[in-house]
Structure 1
């Protein structure tokens, strides 16, 4: 019996001819890059190492563009950002042992933020897998065990014929909701050995749809349509699923105020009459959400930051839409809907009745007024002026990437548009290499990175990468002489700072940047807007250093 799909598996005459006469001089490394190209990749990130040289030799014969960073963790951050802004799987090429392990913090951030990173690492030769022989350079007893707790899936290759299938399966896994990092490891001798296998053309790795169960969306629609005080928390899953339009339509149909999580910025218009913006660390917002009789949570696990450090105690019914089954009902009982945010919101829109409520915009406005009054009662003019200057300087198309620094903590609550930060896992050094990855994705638009002086030192070597590839990234370094946010935490938690731990000897960032051939300027809060605007409009990398000490707004979650 013949089925339609049987015909699709037949090679074309051209494919058959090419398969019977593959080019000479190819290796397992070529199979990796051919598979990536066939899947749609155009750029790869990484750092070479002895065991991975088969991959890097094959780059000479590949149309893929290689962007090499100076440290594996930074290469992982660049791939993370590339995946976030493009929605594509970002290949990351790594070596064995120390090189692989150096990428772990970046892969943890990618996992927490659901960024699709396809890490491909070398391994010791086949004979040494599983401890068959000891003493190989870079050898780990069980390399993949170090990554299983971080990545979505692990794929191990033992022969060159397995490479296309393993890479395609990893690609599909990375792009199936929830997106995330995946791990492929290939022995060094498999990467370097010649192969007579046909060239890889276009493997099928279509992501699987995560469709909601209709009886659950029917119940959720009933609860929302009949609620007295519905509210919505929009998380990063809305942004990743490109579902902000559907979220807005649903919120307007049921007159539900919407708050965006720190990872979900851009999921709902900041100035919309139903917008609660992102003041999740404000007790007024927490109480508003607690008072909702039906709370719809889309694409968020209600983790530590979203729940105002786990002080959120809802009194109503929660409906949670989440693609990551591990986050579903992990912090609060709910009507859990395991689904992609876009598909679940579409199902709700097809089912939910309109719920008119003329008072909903008034309640949202009253909340924001309370937040503003709280801020106005504190001496926070400098912090708000600095953030406003950064926002005003940023061109409309420019993406921004933020390190774990005090200005970022402000931006989480007060920044009115999309932003990317390392709040998923909370590691330092994210902003600058991530911004480089975004600049690779779109070389025509400027990109902004924001770091403190402590975080900047984690990725200062990437100034060389920015110069080498002439990437349009402006780096704002807020220099407060140390780990400023940790000073704040030590003082508020233990009553005093610990300068021996948090005060830092740091370089002259302007002179250091210029030594890499990157133009730099030292600015002040009054000149920040002008200096940052100028840097963002000039081609190539730029650095703007702002020496100042910023403070945090009052912690209202305690």
Structure 2
């Protein structure tokens, strides 16, 4: 018979997990010991929130399960902000937390045991898909299997697993065999095919649920001769320069008009959320066909196809081919004339410096918003944006996870404020030799908030920051660091050098004149409700 910790590790190995992120505590050391004897790499971070962010970054880069391990009470609670981001962005992560010893727990009663809370799992309920408890020896195996299955089954979202600490070292029975998943019912696509065959101006709106069906989306777009708008989560579904790719966010009027003028819109793997639709100010389409695992509620779907984005492949085979060439170049040219020249130079520098196979993880900062809206990666899952929940401080710790995904070099992009949320993870990067290039754009404050105050005509308050010498701070951890000024040619050349080394490094870009926020930031939305 195995211990509870061994059962958990065996289940993770069966699920194909190859790396976990966590922080040790007196309550979870038995799990750390079991992981030490396993095939799974255990990366110790310096804060539990970073563990959940790293698990999320890994999951987004790979599509596989990301795992964060915490101890009881405050350790578990420290992950909540990051778990909320994973929930809103539908990332398959599993948080494994301990609880106080099972013999000391009395339901509904607080007894003052170390790290005790009254209903720890209840804190997670709003930000996870499911909660699984192992409060007795007989529950550990089945709770673990159910949590893994929940997090990784479509539609994906985080799951929470809580195990009483004494059960990690105790012998526990094996679980029941996994239930066999039921096959999905076939869906009659004839009404969808008829609508698309009769469309005059079809348009495809690709969401994060389409990122693993890029070939199908491409085939459908080419068959329909339809422009494709991609959400932040779907960036790269069509490669840069593809004739059907709009390559602009719908927050730019030239791109937004394509939505307005379309008579049939196919939304694939998207819930048409507020961030992407300017808080639903985009008008209800004449005809909306929604292909998704969950029916959208933000817009009326005239036809809802319950299924994953692979349904697009069936549609591509059945619809009639359309003649005519798309004329998107004029829309892009018109949009570019109104964009900030310094930001365009920054985007050019990023394209020059970062190879096509790289992962780029951006934060809630002005350069990150420019990347989210106007940078098209070479493939899906190559650009991560924390605009599910909108959590500042995401990029650096999530970049650590993405860098261990084995999918290519990785660059994180943070502002000076957001980087300091997890600056202690420089120690993690150095100790584990994680091949991440962490870019810090230092404009001496919360640039987006400063912009909001200036735009409102008020004196800036609380947004200008005293920041450290980031280069010296990184060097104190033994991480190679360099400082450049601005975000143009010198920045691009330095970034290319850093990425090429394949080593942990920090590149600081001092920008006394910050970039102007792009049109996809809410103060600059052209649609108002």
Report the TM-score when normalising by structure 2: 0.92
Partner of 1:337: 305
Distance in 1 of aligned mates of 2:450 and 2:109: 49
| Residue 552 of structure 1 pairs with residue 513 of structure 2 | no
Alignment gaps of 5+ in structure 2: none
Trace 1:24-173 onto structure 2 (pairs within 5 A).
27-127=3-103, 128-132=105-109, 134-173=111-150
Partner of 2:391: 427
Alpha carbons of 1:206 and 1:523: their partners in 2 closer, same or farther (altered >3 Å)? farther
Distance in 1 of aligned mates of 2:410 and 2:106: 42
Return the offset for 1:353: 2.3
Trace 1:281-300 onto structure 2 (pairs within 5 A).
281-300=251-270
Return the offset for 1:205: 7.5
Return the offset for 1:196: 6.6
Render the CA deviation track for 1:422-453: whole Å, top value 9, x for unaligned: 111111111111111112221x8321000000
Deviating beyond 4 angstroms after TM superposition, the runs of 4 or more aligned structure 1 residues are: 202-209
Partner of 1:15: none
Name whichever structure is richer in helix by fraction.
1
Partner of 1:13: none
| Range with bigger deviation, 503-512 or 42-51 | 42-51
Do 1:281 and 1:305's aligned partners in 2 also have CA atoms closer than 8 Å?
no
Return the offset for 1:272: 1.5
Of the three residues 179, 192, 207, the one matched with 1:220 is 192
Trace 1:430-441 onto structure 2 (pairs within 5 A).
430-441=394-405
Trace 1:231-380 onto structure 2 (pairs within 5 A).
231-239=203-211, 242-325=212-295, 328-342=296-310, 344-350=311-317, 352-359=318-325, 361-362=326-327, 364-375=328-339, 380=340
Distance in 1 of aligned mates of 2:185 and 2:372: 30
SS of residue paired to 1:118: strand
Alpha carbons of 1:304 and 1:97: their partners in 2 closer, same or farther (altered >3 Å)? same
> In angstroms, what is the RMSD of aligned CA positions?
2.1
SS of residue paired to 2:127: coil
Alignment gaps of 5+ in structure 1: 1-21
Alpha carbons of 1:65 and 1:206: their partners in 2 closer, same or farther (altered >3 Å)? farther
Return the offset for 1:87: 1.7
Return the offset for 1:113: 1.4
SS of residue paired to 1:144: helix
Render the CA deviation track for 1:155-207: whole Å, top value 9, x for unaligned: 111223322222121111111111111011111111132x1756x8x975777
Of the three residues 442, 455, 467, the one matched with 1:506 is 467
Of the three residues 383, 386, 398, the one matched with 2:358 is 398
Distance in 2 of aligned mates of 1:519 and 1:36: 34
Do 1:262 and 1:413's aligned partners in 2 also have CA atoms closer than 8 Å?
yes
Equivalenced residue count is 514
Partner of 1:464: 427
| Residue 184 of structure 1 pairs with residue 161 of structure 2 | yes
Report the TM-score when normalising by structure 1: 0.88
Do 2:410 and 2:437's aligned partners in 1 also have CA atoms closer than 8 Å?
yes
Return the offset for 1:516: 0.5
**Larger Rg belongs to:** 1
| Residue 383 of structure 1 pairs with residue 343 of structure 2 | yes
Render the CA deviation track for 1:192-234: whole Å, top value 9, x for unaligned: 32x1756x8x97577766x46513x322221111101100111
